[in-house]
Structures are given as C-alpha cells and as structure tokens.
Amino acid sequence: MKVVVDPAWELLDAADAAHRGYAGGGRASAGYRNSVLMVWANVVGRQRAKADFESALKYAGDRAVLAADLGVSVSSLAKLERRIRIVPQHDVVYGGTGATALDDRLTYGKKLGEGGTGCVWAATDNLDRTVAVKFISEPSEDAEQIAVRHAQALAKGGGHPNMVTIHYCHALPHPDHPGERRVGIVMEYVEGVTLTERLHRAINHGAADTIGRGLAGAVSSLHERGIIHGDLHSGNVLVDSSDNPKLIDIYNEKSIKASVTPLPEGTVRAEVADLCALLDEVLASVSPAAAAAPRLQDEQERFSDALDVRTAFLGRLSPGGSQTAGVAAHEFLFSWKRLEKLLSDIAPAEHPRGRRPLSVVVGRLLTEKRITKDAVKAFYRVRDVRNQYVHGQLDSPTAADLAALKQLVDDVARMER
C-alpha cells in the first residue's frame, strides 16, 4: 500500500489516510502510520505543521487523547512533535524581492497569452519540466499582494486532478522587462486550449461527459475545502487533447480563507448557478436534443451543490440511460449529507475548525461502544464510494451502496446523544 501525502491535508487528514493505508494492528503497520505523519510534516512545512498540531492538541485536551485520535502511541506523538520543530519552513508560497537561487530555475520560452490582469509565459524549470509562469501586469505592492493571494488560493484548491497545480510563487526576472523582478506564479503547464475555443469545434457525448464530470468535481472539491472560485466561466478552463478540463484562475478574496465553517449557502448557490451556465454551454455544443432540453440554469434553484448539477448534467447528456443512475446518485448524496450532519452534531462545537473529520468522530463512537465494528466498516465503504463518485471515478453508487448508507444513517439517528 502507498500513501501519497496531499499538501492540503491537515494533521487529522494525514492520520486518517495513514490508518486507511496501513490498517493492521502489528508493529509494521504502526511504524508505517508514524512515517506518513512524519512525511506530512515535511510536506506542509514547520509553520503549518506546528499550528495544526497545536490546534489539534488544544481541542483534544492532552497528548494521550490526541495520540488516540491519531491512532499512534504517546511516544510516537512525542517524536512527531519533535520532528515538527526541526522540519524546514517551505510553504508553497514565498515572498520577498531579493535575488535567490529561484532566479536560475527557469528558462523562458514563448508568451502564452496576455490580458487585463497580466501575462503568462511558458518556461522550463531545473527539473526539465515545462511550466507556466503568470505575472501580474503592473509592478506595485497591490499587484504583488494580488499575485500572492491568487497563488495561495490555487495552492489551497490543489489536489484535484481537474485543478491546475501551483508549484510556487516568488519574485522572478520578467522576460519583458530585463533587470526587473516581479512576483510570478509558477504552475502546471497545460497543453491545450480554453473551453471557449474547444466548444467552437465539434464535441461528442464522450468529450462532454469528461468535461462535465471534471468541472463539477473540481468545483465540488473547492467547496469542500471552503474555497470559492469566484470567476467561473469557459475562459478559465483549459482543455487538453484528451478533453480533460483544468480549472484555473481563482481570484475571489474569499478563496484564500481557511475552511473554519461550511461556506454560506448563498455563496455556494451563486457559484452553482455559474456552473449551470458553464455546463449549459457544453450541452448546447453536443447535439440539438441536448440544447433543446430544459437548461440547467432554469432549474438551478433545486441544486444544492456542484454534485447535484453533475447528476442533472449527465441525465441530460444521456437521457435514456442515465436517469435511473442519476436518481440513485442524487439519493445517495442526499443520504450522505444527512449522515454528515448527524455525525457533525455529535462532535463538540468548540473545535477550532468548526468540525472534526468524520473518521475521528466514528472512531470515538467505536471507542465508546456506541457503534459496532460492522458499522465502522460500512462507514468507510460508503465514504470511499462517495469519494470515488465525487472525483469521477465511479459512474453511480449501486443499490447495495445506497442501502448500506441508509442503514448507517438510521443507526446513527437512533443513537443516544
């Protein structure tokens, strides 16, 4: 088993992934779990790791409880704490304007585009990767702050295959202005065209399916992380030669806030409306039948999130074969939201992030013998199904998945508070 650490993870997310990756009870499994937490600290850097550790410790009350939450021994927790004190500080986003080794990392190629907010260049870094470098138009303190905020939002929104990946942000030599350094955002290079350009050419059902699933999944992933894209339209989507979409350019001021509480319903609904408009453009390019169907925008009031939009989009794309699957998916997601609400209500409200990871809540319930081992297994199974569906790896939950989830909801609902 292999665990790939996501830079967006918090401490308890890393512990959850470690437990799922190495679920055995032996020393080897425990050692592997400890190693995942050590790697997490190295990946996120000293400042973030220290802040998250202290936050988790404050909530747990003492180190023994935190160790139990993480699924490690108290001595292993002490080793992790010591490791956090000495890991390098290497956040994704850097500041400063002095010359550094970063200046020598890039060899610029052609200019990829220019607009009102800035220009984008192709470049090759010291790992021989082709990357894209974005500079804000005018050199000023405000421009630098905009660039850094933009990079922070992209970095926090990373981790989804349909979101562009940010490498770092720093003051870099500007190709158009020799001798000047300006804040540049170095990110993944996507070989392709904007969705606006792609929709000018013929698009079949398969391509539309790939684009729609990817975009809805990316928006859903952002919202789960407490991030609003804020500028969702076809010009901010890049599509590669296989029609895989990549969402770019997060500018909204709210995008860089940490996810302390769920996003306001009105904020989510506004972005859901933008997603409906975007996917309506895709449907209109596929076939007259899809274009003639009621628009997603006309029914946006009944969509509570991006996954509801995706279900409706797939139903319109293949009205004959996707209706049953669409209904099952919608019912599954509705039941999952109810389970989330029930479990979140069990977690104490004073948690600094507003809620605890559901896996930790379930673990506590098992420890307190308020839930059975079979119910815990069912939770992890339906959660994996839900995650696979969210990320486009599964067409639809099965009837057995839905039945297992409903049973779990009933069990938790009957539980004494």
Specify the higher pLDDT residue, 216 or 394: 216
Least confident window among 9-18, 61-70, 247-256, 371-380: 247-256
Confidence of residue 77 (pLDDT cuts 50, 70, 90): confident
pLDDT of residue 76: 86
Within 10 angstroms of residue 223's Cβ, the number of other Cβ atoms is 22
Question: H/E element holding 66?
Answer: helix 63-70
Q: Which residues contact 201 (CB under 8 A, 6 or more apart)?
A: none
Query: Structure tokens of 116?
Result: 């009102």
Confidence of residue 352 (pLDDT cuts 50, 70, 90): very low
Specify the higher pLDDT residue, 136 or 30: 136
pLDDT of residue 99: 42
pLDDT of residue 234: 92
Confidence of residue 89 (pLDDT cuts 50, 70, 90): low
pLDDT of residue 168: 79
Specify the higher pLDDT residue, 66 or 216: 216
pLDDT higher than 70, residue 91: no
pLDDT of residue 349: 43
Least confident window among 193-202, 257-266, 306-315: 257-266
The DSSP 8-state label assigned to residue 252 in this structure reads -
Distance, C-alpha 355 to centroid of its chain: 17
Confidence of residue 198 (pLDDT cuts 50, 70, 90): very high
pLDDT higher than 80, residue 48: no
At residue 47's C-alpha, the angle toward residues 46 and 51, to 5°, is 115
d(CA 227, CA 337): 19
Choose among 404, 110, 398, 156: nearest CA to 259: 156
Specify the higher pLDDT residue, 305 or 258: 305
**Tens digit of each residue's pLDDT (9 = 90 or more) over 105-144:** 788 999 988 876 678 999 998 778 899 998 876 666 566 6
pTM of the model: 0.59
Within 10 angstroms of residue 9's Cβ, the number of other Cβ atoms is 18
pLDDT of residue 258: 41
pLDDT higher than 70, residue 319: no
Specify the higher pLDDT residue, 300 or 348: 300
Burial (CB < 10 A; 0-12, 13-18, 19+), residue 273, is middle
Confidence of residue 345 (pLDDT cuts 50, 70, 90): confident
* β-strands 107-114, 118-124 pairing: antiparallel
Question: H/E element holding 342?
Answer: helix 323-346
Specify the higher pLDDT residue, 150 or 301: 301
User: Is the Cβ–Cβ distance between 415 and 370 less than 8 Å?
Assistant: yes
pLDDT of residue 57: 83
- Domains of the chain, CATH where assigned: 11-86 (no CATH), 101-188 (3.30.200.20), 192-319 (1.10.510.10), 332-414 (no CATH)
Specify the higher pLDDT residue, 79 or 102: 79
Instruction: Give the pLDDT mean for 245-260.
Output: 62
pLDDT of residue 243: 92
Confidence of residue 274 (pLDDT cuts 50, 70, 90): very high
